[in-house]
């Protein structure tokens, strides 16, 4: 199950790198538009780090949030686009 989740996160990260982002500011984060799947990208205003937020349609499962990573494992920042 962990391998499937890891693959899903990797695929989501690759897809997000190719999509234009129009954003609105909310608190300490910039919230991007809705992505093709049930999720969105948050950008931290201070550090510039992007986070993938994936909502699950099953209310018992909740949602997942993970930082977006570069191929070498470092954090992906908004200035790298």
Domain that holds residue 61: 2-80
β pairing state of 63-67 and 29-32: unpaired
Query: Which pLDDT score, from 0 to 100, does residue 13 have?
Result: 64
| Cβ-based neighbour number of residue 49 at 10 Å | 15
Q: How many domains does the chain fold into?
A: 1
| Higher per-residue confidence, 56 vs 42 | 42
Structure tokens at 21: 């982002």
List the one residue out of 75, 53, 77 whose CA is nearest residue 65. Answer: 53
The three-state secondary structure class of 2 is: helix
pLDDT for 11-55, tens place per residue? 666 655 544 444 566 677 788 766 777 788 888 888 888 888 887
- Residue 75, CB-side half-sphere exposure with 13 Å CA sphere: 13
pTM of the model: 0.58
In angstroms, the CA 5 to CA 10 distance is 9
């Amino acid at each position: 199950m962990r391998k499937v989740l890891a693959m899903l996160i990797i695929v989501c990260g690759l897809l997000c790198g190719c999509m234009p982002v129009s954003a609105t500011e909310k608190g300490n984060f910039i919230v991007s538009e809705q992505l093709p799947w049930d999720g969105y990208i948050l950008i931290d205003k201070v550090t510039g780090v992007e986070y993938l937020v994936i909502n699950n349609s099953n209310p018992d499962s909740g949602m997942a949030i993970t930082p977006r990573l570069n191929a070498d494992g470092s954090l992906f920042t908004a200035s790298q686009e």
